[in-house]
Amino acid sequence: MRKKMVCGNWKMNGDRASIAYLLGQLLSFSAIPSSAECVILPPSIYLPLVQQFLINSTFAWGAQNVYPEDSGAFTGELSAPMLQDYLCRYVLVGHSERRQLFGEDEKFIADKFYHVKKHAMIPILCIGETMEEREQGLTMEVLTKQLLPIKETGDRPFANCVVAYEPIWAIGTGKTASPELAQEVHHSIRRWISAECNQEDAQVLTILYGGSVTNENANALFAMPDIDGGLVGGASLNAERFVDIVKCIK
Ligand code: PGA
C-alpha cells in the first residue's frame, strides 16, 4: 500500500525558543491520524532538540540537506552518518531553492539521492518546473530531465524513496496548482517511472504535492488519486494549521 505523508519543511526559520514552542504545540495535538506519516524537517542545528521532543511520538523527522560524502574536508557541510546520529529518517534532495540559490545540478542531486539511500535513509526528491516552462508546454520534459539522472543511480531507484512535485511558481507564492493540474502531473510522473524503471515501485511510490499547501486547499489536493500527501513550507510553521493539513489525509 502507498504510504500517505505530510512533511513540514521549516526552511531557515525559527530560533531555539520558537522551535521548542512549536514542537510542544505539535505534541499537544494528539489527533494525528495514524494512516499518515508526519515528518518534520527543521534547520539541522535544531535536530537534537527535535529528537528530544519527538522521540516518543508518532512524528518522524529528517534533514533539509546532506553532503554526499561520509566525512572529510567539506567545510560547513553535514554527512549522512551525522544525520543518522539524530535518527533522521528522511532527507530532502533537489529542493528548488537548493537548485536555484545554491546552483545544485542534476549530477550533484543524484549523488545526494544515492548517498541518502546508501545510508538507509529515505530521500524526498523534489522536482518541478518554472511558470515559463509550464507556459511553453515543457513541464513533463523538465521533470523527465530531473528524473533521468535518478534513474541511473541503481537497479530500482524509486524503491524506498518519496517524490515531491513542487511547481516552482507555486512555492511560497500563495498560487497553488489546482488539484486537477497537480493530479495530471502526478499521474504522468508515476506513468514515467512505471514505464522507465519499475512498475511495482511506481505503484507504491508516495508522490507529494508541494507549493502553497494550506489547511484550505489540502482537502481537495489530497483527494486526488495520485496525490499521496504534501510537502508544506510556510503553513508548517503554525502547529494548528499544520495539524489541520495532516488531518486532510484520509
Ligand atoms: P510553501 O513551500 O508551502 O511555503 O509554498 C513549499 C516548499 O518549498 O517545500
Contact 202, 190 (CB under 8 A): yes
Closest CA to 249 of 200, 215, 205: 215
| 119 among known catalytic residues | no
Q: Which residues line ligand 1 (CB under 6 A)?
A: 9, 166, 171-172, 210-213, 231-235
For 135-180, how does the pLDDT look when each residue is reduced to its tens digit (9 = 90+)? Answer: 999 999 999 999 999 999 999 999 999 999 999 999 999 899 999 9
Specify the pLDDT at position 250: 82
Distance CA 16, CA 19 (A): 5
HSE toward the beta carbon, residue 163, CA cutoff 13 A: 30
Average pLDDT of the chain, as a whole number: 96
Distance CA 249, CA 33 (A): 8
The answer, yes or no, to whether residue 188 has pLDDT greater than 90, is yes
Mean pLDDT check: name the lowest of 34-38, 64-68, 156-160.
34-38
% of the chain surpassing 70 pLDDT: 98
Specify the pLDDT at position 31: 65
Q: Which of 216, 231, 241 to mutate to test the pocket of ligand 1 (most atoms within 8 A of CB)?
A: 231
Distance CA 181, CA 188 (A): 11
The answer, yes or no, to whether residue 223 has pLDDT greater than 90, is yes
The answer, yes or no, to whether residue 109 has pLDDT greater than 80, is yes
Residues 101, 106, 111, CA angle at the centre, nearest 5°?
105
